[in-house]
Structures are given as C-alpha cells and as structure tokens.
Amino acid sequence: MINFVPIFILIMSLTFGTLNAHAHELWLDSKEFQPPGGENVKIELRNGENFKGINLIYFNKWVKQFFWVQNGKRYNVKSRTGDLPAMSTSIESEGLVSVVYESMPDSLTYNEWEKFTNFIKHKDFPDAEKSHMARKLAKTGFKEIYHRYSKALIGLGHSKGRDGNFGLETEFVAQTNPYVDSANSDFKAQLLYQQLPRKNAQVEVFERDPEGLVRIFMLRTNEDGRVSVPIKPGFDYLLDAVVLREVTPDTKDGAVWESLWAALTFSVPSR
C-alpha cells in the first residue's frame, strides 16, 4: 500500500516553500538545542511567522550551502532531497555547534502595492517607498529577489566554544554562548552586512516559552552593529534582521529590489 503521508508532506513543503517563503521568516529550529549524548543532532528548516511554521524537507535545489562548525572545524551537512528534518547528524565531540544554512536566491512578484508597503513598514525601511517612486518603478508587477542566511547554536556536552563569522553576505555572530554564559541576563550578538557592522538596524526578536507561547519585540543595533537581547531561562529565541537594497533589472534577473534575511536561533538552559 502506498504511504500517502510522506507524499503529502513533500507536496505541502514544496508548495509552501515556493509560494510563501518570502512572506515570513525562515529559521533553523530544534526540539532539543542541547540533545543528550549519543543522539543525532536534528535540525528543522522552518518557514512561517511568530516562531511557528511548517517543517520543510531538505530540497537540494533550495540550498547554496549547509554546514556545521565545531571547535574551528567545518563539516558539510549530508542530507538528501526529501529528508525530514533537514539535518540529522551524529556529532560525537562536545562543545558549541554553529549550524549554518544559506539558500539559493528566489524571487517573487508584487501584484499588490499594499503588500510591498506593509513589508517595508514592518521591516523598517522608511525610505524604500520614496526610492521606488524616484526610480519611476511601477506599483504592481515588479520583482524582488531574496536570500536566506540562517544560523542555529547547539550545545553538546559541556557546550564550550564560540560562534564565528562565516563570511555570509549578512549574518548574526553571537558574542555570547547561551549554554555557558546563561547566568548573564542578556544575550549579545553582532549583526554584519558585507563583513561590516550593521549599525542602527532593526532586530526582531521572537521569544518562545516552554509551552510554545511566543512574545515578539523589536531592538536596534548600536554603532558597532551589536544588539543586547534580554533572555530568560528555559526559553528559545529567534533573531531576525533584513537588508533591502536596490538592484537594476538587467543585473538581477529582472528584479528591482533584493532582500537579505539573517536569522539566528538558540535556547537558554533552565536553571
């Protein structure tokens, strides 16, 4: 007998991933950010909003690079199309693991001006509408290309170690190890764009409690691109920041805007 459940998951994952991926955040999630020794590290690729979303399959054509780093050594994720979760890997050594996912570029077309203005308002781009008009672009039928740069911090055993700068176009680099420095009341990270600190940028924070309830609040980076996030024991966190830049249609496959989405997820151990 044919098992229709995996087929249904595949169809829904592909459909959601292609039609709605831009509208919401994409992040790396886990049911266990500090998994017990001897168990595989399982990372879910999720797309949704309010720190809730569909668990996407691994699909090779979506992925530009997918790897994990521990103790300064990099390892490519060895997943196959259709794998769910997107990563399930045995990691024997103790220490902090940084998991990094970069998507292939994808695009969408705005057929309603309000959708674009809602997006730029939510993500804090107050000059984008004026720029759009100054460039004499149409209010409908214009194209945006987007990229995802998502990271997750996983603690194994003693969980010691530090996150790194992995050379992404934009990324959060954790300055705090939440599994070792959890006595601190704040989690610190630096937001980079083209290897430089991104100052005065909006950071959207999603805070998920042990029951799955989510609180959302906004912060801004300082002059050094750093942000300090108040944290609570037993809670999970997703940081999200977006770059929006102008492009010309002849250089970006007909797109007039390009967005770059940085995400970082981690958990804070219960005391």
CB 243 within 8 A of CB 147: no
15-29, 45-59, 162-176, 215-229: which range is least confident on average? 15-29
Q: What is the pLDDT of residue 253?
A: 81
Q: Which residue range forms the structural domain that includes residue 227?
A: 4-267
Q: Nearest-CA neighbor of 246 among 254, 237, 257?
A: 257
Q: DSSP letter string over 52-109?
A: EEEEEPP-GGGEEEEEEEETTEEEE----TT-SSSEEE---S-EEEEEEEEEPPEEEE
DSSP state of 37: T
Position 24 confidence tier, pLDDT thresholds 50, 70, 90: confident
Position 35 confidence tier, pLDDT thresholds 50, 70, 90: very high
pLDDT of residue 11 exceeding 90: no
Structural domains of the chain, count: 1
Query: How many C-alpha atoms does 130 have within 13 Å on its Cβ side?
Result: 3
pTM: 0.92
